[in-house]
Every structure is written in structure tokens, then in C-alpha cells.
Amino acid sequence: MKKNLFEMGADLGERWTADNKSKEIKEAETELKAPEQHRLYLAKEKRRGKAVTIVKPFHLSRPDLQALLKKLKKKLGCGGTLKEDSLELQGDIPDQARRYLTELGYRFRS
């Protein structure tokens, strides 16, 4: 029987490599800061006819940022997602997001 060369993890010879064998996990080096040291700003965008409120840049670890997003979504009653160093919240809610983040100790640009 012939050996199938296209199986995952197959030895493709000395000059060939498979793309799926080693994937580098890209982790951005972020300088962690306390909430009082943040200088956040809000942006609004329209995506497919819906409003999205974006809050960035956060200088927190990934688990801390996910916990903050969960608190915000619960408090504001909206959906949202985490993209790199920013939070994207569903809806046109910049005032409520600013108010709640200010209560938590975060600062905003003027």
C-alpha cells in the first residue's frame, strides 16, 4: 500500500513543510496599567445598519478585559465583543458606557 502524503502530520520530505504543524500564538505585549492611568475614548460606527460603540485602548490582561466586558454587558443590557485592546458594545450607548466606566475608575480623553 502507498502511504498517503497528504495526511495531517505527514513527512513531506526534507524541503517541504506543512502549514498546520506549528502555528505561532501571537500575543501582544501590553503594558498593564491601573484604571486611573487609562486614557480611553469612545467611537461610534455603523455596521450593517446597526450602531456599535467602541471603547479603546485598554491596557489590561486578556482575562481582566474579558471580565470587564462581562460586567459592562450585564450592567448596560447589551451584547458585545472583545477585539484586541478594545471593547465593542452593541448599540448607540456611549453616555451609559462612559458613566459606568468612570464609576469603575477609568478616565477618558477630553
Q: Which CATH architecture has domain 35-103?
A: 2-Layer Sandwich (3.30)
Write down the pTM of the prediction: 0.69
The pLDDT assigned to 40 comes to: 92
Q: Over pLDDT 70: what percentage of the chain?
A: 72
pLDDT for 33: 85
Q: Nearest 5°: phi and psi at 43?
A: -135, 150
Model confidence over 36-80: pLDDT tens digits? 888 999 999 999 999 999 999 999 999 999 999 999 999 999 999
Q: Are 34 and 45 in contact (CB under 8 A)?
A: no
Domain boundaries, the chain: 35-103
